């Protein structure tokens, strides 16, 4: 499955994991952009639900940018 940052942000917006995910810089760490730990968990859950993958805790710690999440989804669903 090939996804893009736009596909990911649309999924996050649809699931209400974040209010304005399209405003985020895909290359900057999400916590540096004001995304707190509870929102990060919501993001991981939304990604799991929307793309039918599981994100183990040990992998989640490395997924800190939208670009990281896109690459992870492509790797796990491909």
The CA distances from residue 56 to 33, 40, 60, 64, 72, in Å, are: 23, 14, 6, 14, 12
Structure tokens at 50: 């929307």
Would you say residue 58 has pLDDT above 80?
yes
pLDDT at 2: 81
Among 36, 52, 57, 68, the active-site one is 36
Which pLDDT value is given to residue 1?
A: 67
25 given a catalytic annotation: no
Which pLDDT does position 50 carry in this prediction?
Answer: 94
* Fold of domain 5-77: 1.10.1200
pLDDT of 19: 84
Domain boundaries, the chain: 5-77
- Dump pLDDT digits (tens) for 6-50: 999 999 999 998 888 989 999 999 999 999 999 999 999 999 999
Kindly report the pTM of this predicted structure.
Answer: 0.92
């Amino acid at each position: 499955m090939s996804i893009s940052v736009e596909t990911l942000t649309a999924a996050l917006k649809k699931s209400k994991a974040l209010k304005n995910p399209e405003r985020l810089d895909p290359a900057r760490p999400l916590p540096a952009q004001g995304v707190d730990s509870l929102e990060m968990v919501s993001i991981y859950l939304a990604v799991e639900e929307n793309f039918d993958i599981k994100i183990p805790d040990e992998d989640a710690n490395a997924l800190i940018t939208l670009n990281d999440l896109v690459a992870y989804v492509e790797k796990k669903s491909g």
